Amino acid sequence: MSVLPREQVTGLILAGGRGSRMGGVDKGLQNFRGLPLAMHAMLRLAPQVGEVMINANRNLGAYESFGAPVWPDALPDFAGPLAGFLAGLERCETPYMVTVPCDTPLFPSDLVARLGAGLLAAGADIAMPRTGDQVQPVFCLMRTSVMESLVRFTQEGGRKIDRWTAQLACAEVPFEDESAFFNANTLEELQQLERQRA
């Protein structure tokens, strides 16, 4: 099985959303077990990659205090995860980039290794986890060479991840533990997550 060297991968934490389902709060800064959600994501991702960046559009100073570079969206008006992908790709200096959302603090600790193996085995541009019938497109390992296609897609007004990835060679990598990808969209779900996996 081919292994993707972790120093060839930059990790990007997506914390640039409006948090509208959480009442408009900055989701990545919400407390989970004594630390901000985005900090949990960073601590889990850092050992899996060469370096980490954060995509955020508010409270940049708070995110900068985590000790990683922070980049706002490359597109206006909270244009969704693809705007974060683009901000990361524009600054990524490694051949691969992986994205994780800030609101899923318990994602697998072998996420990048398994996505990397799947991407290399399939000769794909992008690899995403699949749990059962559900693909998890915001957890996305991509070759940085996809940037040109993403620029074109977003310039034409495209905003949906699956519409963009459908244009590329994608590998879906099976993961068994669906609960590892549970994301807290609301404060109730965040409390549920605290209780569930204490």
Binding site for Mg(2+): what residues are annotated?
103
Query: 101: closest CA among 27, 184, 163, 14?
Result: 14
Structure tokens of 66?
């985590």
Residues that constitute the known binding site:
14-16, 27, 55, 73, 103
Residues that constitute the known binding site for GTP:
14-16, 27, 55, 73, 103
Which pairing describes strands 96-101 and 140-143: parallel, antiparallel, or unpaired? antiparallel
Distance separating the N- and C-terminal Cα atoms of the chain: 34
Asked if residues 70 and 84 have their Cβ atoms less than 8 Å apart, the reply is: no
Asked if residues 73 and 57 have their Cβ atoms less than 8 Å apart, the reply is: yes
Enumerate the β-bridge partners of residue 31: 36
- Give the whole-angstrom CA distance, residue 179 versus residue 104: 10
